[in-house]
Every structure is written in C-alpha cells, then in structure tokens.
Amino acid sequence: MLDILKRIAANLSTDAHFWSIRLVDETTQDHEVRNDVVQPFRTGRDRGAMVIVHSDGGAAYAATSDVSPAGLQAALDIATARARASAAYSLINFAAVPVMPGRGEYASASIGVDLPERAAWLDMLGRECAGAALGEKIVERAASVQIGQSTHSYLSSDGAQIEQRFRFLMPNVRVTAHADGDTQVRSLAGSHALQQGGIDILEHMEFSGAGRRLAEEALQLLAAPNCPTGMRDLLLMPDQMILQIHESIGHPLELDRILGDERNFAGWSFVTPDMFGSYRYGSELLNVTFDPEAVGEAASYAFDDDGTRAEKQHLIRNGMLERPLGGALSQARSGMAGVANSRASSWNRAPIDRMANLNIEPGTSSLAEMIGGIEQGILMRSNVSWSIDDLRNKFQFGCEFGQLIENGQLTEVVKNPNYRGISASFWRSLAAVGDASTFRTLGTPYCGKGEPTQVVRVGHAAPACVFKAVEVFGGGV
Amino acid sequence: MNRTSIDWDRHFTVLADEIVRLREPGEEILCSLSAEQSDFIRFNSAKVRQIGAVQQGRLTVRLISGERHAYATLTLTGSTEPDLAEVARTLLILRDSLRDTGDDPHLLFDRSSWQRTTFRTGRLPHADALVRTVVECATGLDFVGFYAGGTIIEGFASSTGSRGWYQVSNFNFSWSLYDPNGRAIKTSYAGDDWDDALFARKVEEAAKRLEYFAKAPKVLTPGQYRTYFAPAAMNELIGMIAYRGFSAREQAAGRSPLCKLNSGALNLDQRVSLTEDLDLGLTPAFNEDGYLRESVSLLTQGRGVGQLTSARSAREYGLQTNGAHAHEMATSLAMAGGELPEAEVLAALGTGLYVGNLWYLNVSDRTQCRLTGMTRFATFWVEDGQICSPVDAMRFDDSLYRLLGSEVEHLTDTPELLLEDSTWGQRRTGGMKLPGMIARSFALTS
C-alpha cells in the first residue's frame, strides 16, 4: 500500500512547507453465536486518508474516503487553504514544531499465520455458548470474536515512509443470569480480551471452557448477598486493574489534556506540568510504563501517527511521576519530554495524545501471599461500571464479581461490588503488587476522547494489586 | 467543506439500482448509507487548536437469501466507477459467506415498498469567517470549544422498492468559559441558521455568568440536597435510560435498568411521560431493516407502556416491531413538560443546588436503576431564590426511580430541544426535548 501511496504522492502539488498523508485500510469480521443461534456474519472494509498541512505557521487537516489521486489532491488543497486562513488565529506556531521523518515497518506477531475459517470459529463459539446452558436462570448466552486487520501507511514531505500492519483479535463470552427480579452478568475478562496476534490469544484469554465457568459464576452471584459497605483492603484482579490504570493514571497523564485542549469535553487533569519529576503519584511499589514494544499487546506499534518512533518509557518509577503521555506536538508546546503517543482512531480523525500500551510492571507477591496478608478485605474482578470526575480524580468503579477476604482466606461471594476513591491518594495506598504469575495482558477498543470524538484501541497489562483501606459498597437503594 | 460536494443522493441511487440489478433469483438486498461532509474546529485559549474537514460515506449491504443473511459495510469514494466495482465485489463476498451460514430463525425485514424524503438545507458559517468571529468574540476570555457543522446524510434502499433519504445541514457549537480557578460555564449554540450576532450575544451572556464564580465555593458534605436539574443535566440522566432502558432485548434479558418499571413492579411520578418522538424530525423515520419508524409512547403518567422493538427482537420474542433500530436505543426522546415557568425556577427551588450539567454517568446498580456521576460546569448553591456561590464538583449515587418518582416536585413548562452533538465516527442525528426538574432530594456521596 505504501508503494501505491508513494506513486500518488509524487504527483500531488502544494506549496505548503510541510504535508503528510496517512492512509488507513482496515477490514473487520464479526462472528457470534447467541443462545445457540448463529448470528449473521458481518464484515467491513474502512478505507480513507487524512492529509495534514502546515503552512504559514498554521495547520489543518482534510480527511476523505476518496483515495484516488484527484481525491487526495482535493484534500491537500483544502488543508492548505485552511491552514493559511487560520494561521493568524492558531494557538500553536506550527512553523516552529519539529516533524518526525520516521522510516520503517511494523507487523503484528504471527500476522502471516492464517486464522480459522468461519465454520471453525462458529464451532468454537457454539461450544462455549452451549456450555453456558446451565438451566432456566441463564437467560442469555453469547460467544463472539471480532477479527480486525489494518494497514497504516504514512508519508510526509520531509521523507517519512512508514507502513504498519496490525491484526487484532477480541474474543468474548457473556452470560446473563436472571431470577426474582435480579440480573447478574459475567463476561470474559470484563469484555477486555483484546490483543494483537493469532489464535493463541484464545488460550491466553482462557477462552476454552469460559462459557460454563462464567455461567456458574453468574448463578453464584444471583444467589449471593450484596457487597457490604465499609472500609476494606481491596484486591483488584487484572481485568479490573486495567480500568483503574486507564481512568486514573492514563487519562490524567495525557499532556494535551494537561494543556487544556480537552476542557470542553473530556476534561482537564489534577496533574499539572510542575508535578513531573517531583510528585509522588503512588507508593514505592508503583511502576508504570508506556510500552509500545510489548509483543502482542493491543497498542503495540513502531511509529505513532505523527511518524515518531515509539519506545518503552517509564511514566512512574517507584511511585514518582516522571513523564507525561505527550506526543511530539505536545512536547514542543510544553517543553517536556514525552512518548510517541500521537494517535488517531482512523483515517477520518486527526492524531491527539492517547494512551497506547500503558502497563503496571509486575511486583514480587504471589496471589496467595496477597490474600493471606489481608485481614478484612475483598477481591474484585471484571469491570462493569466506571465514572470519574473531569479532573480524573474522584472515581467510583464497579465490578461484576466480588469475594470477601477474612483473616487471610477467600470467603463469601458478593454481588454488585463497587468502590470509591481519589486518584491522588488511592495509588499511595498500593500495598502489594502481584508477581508475573498474576500478570495479564488485556485491552479495549473503546477508549474515547477528543473533539470530534475518537475511540482507539489501547492495551493494558497488569498484575493483581492490593490497596489498603478503600471505601467499598454494594447495590440496593 | 469548501469543495465540489458529492451528490450523495444521485450516487446512492446509482449504487442501489446496480445492486438490485446484480441480485440473483431468491435474493433480497437492503442498503443503508451514512455520509457526511463536515467542518470541525477546536478552540483552546480563544485560539484555533485544530481545524479540519471530513468527507466520508459508508454503505452497508445486507444480502438475504431465503432465511439466511449477512452484512458488509464499505467506505465509498463518491465516484461511480470504483464504487460500483467495490459493491459488486462485496456482493460476491456476501454470497460466498452465506454458504457457511444456516437459517436464521430471527430474521425479519420489511418487504413492503415505501418512499420517504427529508431534505433540509441550512445557512452555515464559512470555516474561515467563523474562526475570525470566534476569536473576536472570545478575546480576553479563556474560551475552549468545538464547532461541528455540515451535511449529514442517512439513506436506505431495498430490492423490494423502498427508498428513504434524510439529509440535513446544521451545526453544533459548544464552548466553555473558564475562570482562573478552573471553574467553567458551558454553553451551546445549535441549529441550521447561523447568526454571528446571536453567537456573540451567547458568549457575552455566558461571560457575565462567570461573575458567580468570584465568590468562595460552598463546601457540601455527603447527603441529600434539594436540587434543580437544568435540561442539559436532565439530558445526562435521561440519556442513561435512553441507551438500554427501553430495549426489548435488554428487557427480555433482564439487563435493562428499567426492568422493575416495565414489569409494573413500580411506577414513577404521574407527571413523568416519555415518548420516542419521530415528529421532532431529528432523525430519519426509517431503519436499516426497511421499516418506517413510529413514535412510541414509552412512559405515560409514570407507567411503563412501551418498548423499542427491532425486527430481530420482534421475531425472537414474539412481539410487534415498531421500527426501532437494531440497537434499540432511543434517538429522539421527548419528555412532557410541567407547570413551572423557567423564570420561576430559582424562586421555586428556594434553597438548594442548581445543577447545570452532569458528567460521566454510569449505572451503579442495574436492578435499582441507580446511577452515579459527577456534577460539572455550572453548579451553584442557591439560597432564598438567589444564586449564592459555586459548588465544586460532587459525586452522586442515586436511583432514577426515586428521582423521577417520589422526589419530583416540579417540571418546567417548556421542554428544551437539545440536538445530538455526538461525533463518534460521524456526526449523528437525533436529540432530546426535555424540561428542567426540581427534585426534593438528590444524594451526593463525596
């Protein structure tokens, strides 16, 4: 695709001092079996290009689904004219912003290995769906997989030439139990089982047997009491940790947000530029990395959508805040070091600072040690509800599944477990970080931000973690 | 977008005619188009942060053969030759996929033939001129905002002869004015007839309201507070139940947060009535299954009386479809107004909270329709009918059954039209028409 784009670009004309073209060609396939009924096959192909122009100190973009030479020239003309017309009113002097002439390729692990045909997928999905049929209280059973393949090609007037090929798999199983006016749902990794790669993702996500396992847990929850109210030590499993990282570390560290770009929509941040290098974000056990090099994680890549080469960086080391999530443009605006995280959801949206792979590094505690060290606590897994203020500080999160911990032992299962906290103090209560045996790599395709709004795929990997004295509560009026 | 526009109506007709021509005996085909030509401009610190234009069109083709069917979605270039070739290729893929597919016992689509057209042009600002106007009006203010404007298109065609076309040109501009302490007033201006003077006046009025932030904020402790919810705040509350509350499928699976209401186990206040109101003209009156959409009474005098039933749910659960989309979300909700004139809101509130906006809502207990979220933007403490001081963002966790039930004291008499401002993937149609509400109590938690 890069060669085609290069041939077209050779005949485009503009007198702007910088232009780039980012072409995205993505196909998706959805397979699903619901209540033993094969759902209709859905496939999609989304293809288009975004042209970005810097001229006279201004910048503008034009996105088009017409990727013919004439379509791209028209987009280039629009972006050039608009960059000039708005230059006098631009927040940023784009003439002083460095651009990244990256060159290279990237491909997801095992992208060349064929995946099963539809019939084989339907067999696998059908088995999980059937396995969840554990009686009349199970009112809905669904097993699905979404497969996405995407090629991103990037060219710029200063010589950038990048082609990146991705393959994503997102399996899911969701079981709904209902009786006596109550409903409980269990899902595979809280519906966050997204990775790059091949069929081995199913094994990593413990897909086989998930139908029966989740149905048993849904029935268990249906018979369980509500989560009690009070202060307890909180053991979060990886499929809730990823949400905790995402909302109360990832978003507040986005540099464009800190610089105020998102104040009309997604919000601002309790983190201010002066905190980097001196602010204690969490306990000494907290180590957070931006890691686009992680093999198989959902947002692994070699270059971001501005053409900057991507590499692993610590954002928080031993609890101290080091570095924001800011791409080349935000780094130029703020004078701060950042990461290669300028990303767009697709060809029709402009790059902004996004999370990519944002991980918590494993610690040294086994799961048994963490449970054994809790006198009065609760284990929670699989996110179901999330809400946080516009500064990304006050949060309330809920999980599908809770289990009390009393005197170092897992005891009663409880339903509707929720907890509240404040980001600025919550991470300082981090008391134990699980070792590699508790570590899981997950992800979501639904990280929302920006105006116009964009949803991008992000990866999160985390061990199980313990937080001291957290306010927990359950359902009911 | 300042370029030769694609004639999507003509282009869609050409493609749909070709698709019908290519069908084989025993096949039916449904086609849906979503397209836009939009200008997007972001502002920060009263300057242009990001400016651009997006032109896109997506066609979904659904091939039905007997009781089997499959879907394919593709982007369109807007040019006849390449798009016809892509459509032909897509049909082959779909035909091939049906070989692996058994009969679908829940397949249902409309086989009748109808024609519907909505075409509304607008007077929209030119992007270059708009930038100048905004920067002039926002000078001296910490202005951060987003303009989205242009043409939105939804189309439908079926091999049974139905054709639907919905094309509107409009804009939606929201902006926030921040004070030095980080508190903000959010305002929006939406419509299809842009007026520089009206925009300037709205900015000026919002700037005057910043004066309320000059006073020290009132610190609230967790507890119950008498509260007025402005229509924009009601939009967030009602938006939560619009998402899944009225879905026939979600109700059948027990996942709707309104299950108790729909089963008749409880009722809301008698003044609460909600309708999925297609007469508002905010959204196409047809769906992707080929059905014409109907207005549906969902809540009448506090009782659950209807649900949004897609064709698929209708066949699965033995119901009648009412033209609901496959996602069964409400897209054009209207709530009946009450008796309280807007000018009397503060006097009627007396002492309590004035909530201008809510933020980041989610369900904290599905069974009890309990919602959590935050206050945001213009939230004030009111005493004796006068705005006294700002209130810093507070978390709430309360049941909508309670808020729209025992706690309803007043609904304002003139519901406000709030156009959908979502731009996920593409600018969206739809909206809500909602009154403000005074609740006797509202549970703040932290």
Q: Are residues A209 and A242 in the same domain?
A: no
Cβ-defined contact of B53 to A63 (cutoff 8 Å) = yes
Tell me what ipTM this predicted complex has. Answer: 0.96
Do A270 and A184 share a structural domain?
no
DSSP 8-state code for residue A254: B
**Domain assignments of chain B as residue spans, ordered by start:** 8-213, 216-444
A218 and A234 co-located in one domain: no
Is the domain of A347 the same as that of A379? yes
Q: Which residues of B touch A259 (CB under 8 A)?
A: 44
Alpha-carbon gap, residue B68 to B66, rounded angstroms: 6
The dihedral region occupied by B205, where left means phi > 0, alpha psi between -120 and 50, and beta the remainder, is alpha
Whether residue A448 lies within 8 A of chain B, CB to CB, comes out as yes
Helix A2-9 and helix A69-86, axial crossing angle in degrees, nearest 10: 60
Distance in Å from the first CA to the final CA of chain A: 57
Structure tokens at A413: 């299962």
Task: Mark which residues 118-157 of A lie under 8 Å from B by CB.
Answer: 118-119, 122, 139-140
DSSP assigned state of B385 = T
Interchain pair A387, B360: CB under 8 A: yes
Instruction: Of A455, A464, A289, A454, give the one whose Cα is nearest residue A364.
Output: A464
How would you label B307-339 residue by residue, b for 16+ Cβ within 10 Å and e otherwise? bbbbbbbbbbeeeebbbbbeebbbbbbbbbbbe
Residues of A in contact with B362 (CB under 8 A): 385-387, 398
Across the interface, which of B51, B57, B101 has its CB nearest the CB of A41?
B101
A340 and A270 in one domain?
yes
Q: Cβ contact (<8 Å) for A398 and B364?
A: yes
Cα separation, A348 vs A381, in Å, equals: 35
Residue in B176, B423, B446 nearest the CB of A263: B176
What dihedral do alpha carbons A367, A369, A373, A379 form, nearest 10°? 10
Residues A182 and A257 in one domain: no
Cα separation, B178 vs B206, in Å, equals 10
Q: How far apart are CA A283 and CA B391, in angstroms?
A: 31
| Number of compact structural domains in chain A | 2
Per residue in B385-407, pLDDT (tens digit) is 999 999 999 999 999 999 999 99
Label residues A177-191 b or e (16+ Cβ within 10 Å = b).
bbbeebbbbbbbbbb
Q: A162 and A425 in contact (C-beta within 8 Å)?
A: no
* Residue that finishes a domain, picked among A204, A222, A240: A222
Query: Which residue of chain A comes nearest to B358, CA vs CA?
Result: A389
Domain stop point among A205, A222, A239: A222
| Domain co-membership, A196 together with A312 | no
Residue A356 and residue A304 in one domain: yes
Question: Of the candidates B78, B182, B265, which has its C-beta nearest A66's C-beta?
Answer: B78
pLDDT in tens, A91-126: 999 999 988 789 999 999 999 999 999 999 999 999
Distance CA A24, CA A150 (A): 7
Q: Report which of B353, B441, B355 is spatially closest to residue B398, judged by C-alpha positions.
A: B441
> What is the spatial distance between Cα A111 and Cα A24, in angstroms, rounded to a whole number?
17
Q: CATH number for the domain including A21?
A: 3.30.2290.10
Domain that holds residue A418: 230-473
> Which CATH number fits the domain B8-213, given the four candidates 3.30.450.370, 3.40.50.1010, 3.30.70.380, 3.30.2290.10?
3.30.2290.10
Per-residue model confidence (pLDDT) at position B2: 41
- Please report the DSSP string for A400-425 in residue order: EEEEEEETTEEEEEEBS-EEEEEHHH
B222 touches chain A (CB under 8 A): no
Do residues A425 and A464 both lie within one domain? yes
pLDDT value for A289: 98
Distance CA A459, CA A63 (A): 26
For B12, the 3-state DSSP assignment is helix
Same domain, A242 and A147: no
Structural element, H or E, at residue A153: strand A138-156
B75 at A interface, C-beta within 8 A: yes
Burial of A148 (0-12, 13-18, 19+ CB in 10 A): buried
Q: Which segments in chain A show pLDDT lower than 70?
A: none
Is the CB of residue B362 less than 8 Å away from at least one CB of chain A? yes
CA angle at residue A118 from A114 to A123, to 5 degrees? 110
Mind listing the pLDDT tens digit of every residue in chain B (446 residues)? 444 579 999 999 999 999 999 999 999 999 999 999 999 999 999 999 999 999 999 999 999 999 999 999 999 999 999 999 999 999 999 999 998 789 999 999 999 999 999 999 999 999 999 999 999 999 999 999 999 999 999 999 999 999 999 999 999 999 999 999 999 999 999 999 999 999 999 999 999 999 999 999 999 999 999 999 999 999 999 999 999 999 999 999 999 999 999 999 999 999 999 999 999 999 999 999 999 999 999 999 999 999 999 999 999 999 999 999 999 999 999 999 999 999 999 999 999 999 999 999 999 999 999 999 999 998 999 999 999 999 999 999 999 999 999 999 999 999 999 999 999 999 999 999 999 999 999 999 98
Query: pLDDT of A44-68, one tens digit each?
Result: 999 999 999 999 999 999 999 999 9
Beta strands in B324-426 (DSSP E): 332-335, 352-365, 370-383, 386-390, 395-399, 408-411, 416-419
Interface with B, mutate which of A82, A136, A185, A346 (most B CBs under 10 A): A82
Instruction: Read off the pLDDT of residues A281-308 as tens digits, 9 standing for 90 and up.
Output: 999 999 999 999 999 999 999 999 999 9
- According to DSSP, residue A246 is labeled I
Q: Is residue B337 a contact partner of residue B435, using CB atoms and an 8 Å limit?
A: yes
Say how far apart CA B39 and CA B55 lie, in whole Å. Answer: 9
A97 and A129 together in one domain: yes
Question: Do A41 and B97 count as a contact with CB atoms less than 8 A apart?
Answer: yes
Query: Edge-to-edge strands of the sheet including B332-335?
Result: B303-304, B296-300, B274-276, B332-335, B431-434, B416-419
Contact status of B48 with chain A (Cβ, < 8 Å): yes
B68 contacts B98 by C-beta, under 8 angstroms:
yes
Give the C-alpha separation, B10 to B1, whole Å: 19
Return the beta strands (E) in B8-67 as ranges.
27-44, 47-65
CB A412 within 8 A of CB A225: yes
Instruction: Decide if B443 contacts B375 (C-beta within 8 A).
Output: no
CA distance B44 to chain A (A): 6
Read off the amino acid at residue B429.
Answer: T
Domain boundary among A222, A251, A271: A222
Considering only alpha carbons, which residue of chain B is nearest residue A422?
B446
Chain A hits for B40, CB-CB cut-off 8 Å, are: 451-452
* Helical H segments across A12-163, by residue range: 69-86, 118-131
What is the three-class DSSP state of A244? helix
Residue type, A464: A
Q: Is B144 helix (H, G, I), strand (E, B) or coil?
A: strand
**pLDDT at position B99:** 86
Task: For residue B445, list chain A residues with Cβ-Cβ distance below 8 A.
Answer: 396, 420
Does A285 lie in the same domain as A372? yes
**Residue A97 near chain B (CB below 8 Å):** no
> Which positions in chain A touch B42 (Cβ < 8 Å)?
261, 451
How far is it, in rounded angstroms, from Cα B334 to Cα B280? 8
